[in-house]
Chains A and B, each alone.
Chain A
Amino acid sequence: MINKMELKFSASLSNEVLARQAVIAFISPLDPSLEQIGEIKTIIAEGVSNAIIHGYELDASKDVFLKAIIDGEDLELTITDYGKGIENLEEARKPHYTTRPDLERAGMGLTIMETLSDSFAIKTLPGMGCKLVIKKKITHESVAYGTVSR
């Protein structure tokens, strides 16, 4: 069965918790492990805070869009902003690269999202915005162990 949800919220960091909790509640029927819950929360936090801080430069009059689709045990997340986009994607993807060192974040957002997800796609156009599509399987280790064959 395919299940879908969409959320639109103001580009304020105070809404990051809403985005995290909404997706966690949405995927709870899949019975994710604590580790998976933590990883998904971190993926969403990085994506949403990128949209708010970099896309919209903390302008809370703008909107962030979050979509989640569950198809079987596959979770697909789409985080979209219509902000300023990323000028140089290659630079942005480098670990520890940040355009805002003043904020004392780690410049690791894209690296973290990429590592924690099974597939990670980014589409951006300068001045047009940014769209992240993240895929992650919510599997159960005990089941996975049983199906391993070599």
Chain B
Amino acid sequence: MENKIKFTAFDEGLVIKISGELDSMKTMTYRDKIHREMIKLGPRMLLFDFKDLQFIDSSGIGLILGRFNEIDKIGGVVGITGLNDYSRKIFQITGILQIIEEYQSTAQFKKKARINL
């Protein structure tokens, strides 16, 4: 599978879909891309879609935590969707699911995140 990042903006929110392998090298380039997109759009709701994620390590976890801290600071909401057995295990080990809520779908996030803002 191709490694890629895709941004989809919605009202006050941004969906970041990361596919394939999210390793140390990809994390570095994606961090810049996400930073530029967030500057441009100033989202208050951020959803990471990992439906097609095949690999993640602590650099990728750091990338998510870093963005969580930025959005949390402005009182926004961050969510995760599309976890498989493997990625859910990694997120559980790192304790990320204790601070970032998992949503069943992008639609569910859009609906619930607004209430939690």
Contact = CB atoms under 8 A, between A and B. Distances in A.
Interface of A: 13-14, 16-17, 20, 34-35, 38-39, 41-42, 45-46, 49, 95, 103-109, 111-112, 115-116
B31 to A, nearest CB: 7
A105 B21 CA distance: 16
A105 B59 contact: yes
15 contacts: A34-B84, A35-B89, A38-B90, A41-B21, A45-B23, A49-B58, A105-B61, A106-B58, A106-B62, A108-B93, A108-B94, A109-B57, A112-B93, A112-B94, A116-B89
A31 B39 CA distance: 45
Contacts of B85: 35
B57 A42 contact: yes
Interface string B33-65: 000000000000000000000111111011101
Interface residues of B, number: 25
Contacts, number: 79
Interface string B67-90: 000000000000000001111011
The 4 tightest CB contacts between A and B, nearest first, are A38-B86, A45-B57, A106-B61, A105-B62
B25 interface: yes
Contacts of B58: 46, 49, 105-109, 112
A41 B58 CA distance: 12
Given A13-B25, A16-B23, A34-B86, A111 B59 contact: no
A38 B93 contact: no
Most buried by A among B55, B85, B87: B55
B23 A39 contact: no
A107 B65 CA distance: 11
Given A38-B54, A46-B58, A109-B57, 20 more contacts: A13-B25, A16-B23, A20-B23, A20-B55, A35-B84, A38-B87, A39-B86, A39-B89, A45-B24, A49-B58, A95-B94, A103-B59, A104-B31, A104-B66, A105-B58, A106-B61, A108-B61, A109-B58, A111-B93, A116-B93
A39 B88 CA distance: 11
A10 to B, nearest CB: 14
Interface in B80-107: 84-87, 89-90, 93-95
B18 to A, nearest CB: 14
Interface string B11-34: 000000000010111000001000
B65 A106 contact: yes
